[in-house]
Amino acid sequence: MNIKKKKKKKEQVVRYGKKLIDRRLTTGSGGHISVYNREKNLVAISPSGLDYYETTPEDIVILDMDGNLVEGKHRPSSEAGMHLAFYKNRADVSGIVHTHSKFATAIACMGWELPAVHYLIGMAGHRVKCTGYATYGSDELAKKALETIGDSNAVLLANHGLIALGEDVDRAFSTAEHLEFVSEVYYLTKTLGTPNILSDEDMDEVMKKFGTFKYR
Catalytic annotation present for 79: yes
Residue among 39, 79, 147, 205 flagged as catalytic:
79
**Interatomic CA distance for residues 104 and 215, integer angstroms:** 20
- Which residue type, as a one-letter code, is found at position 104? A
The torsion angle over the Cα atoms of residues 112, 114, 117 and 119, rounded to 10 degrees, is -170
Phi and psi at 86, nearest 5°, equal -65, -45
Integer angstrom CA distances of residue 162 from 26, 61, 191: 10, 22, 22
Catalytic residue ranges: 79
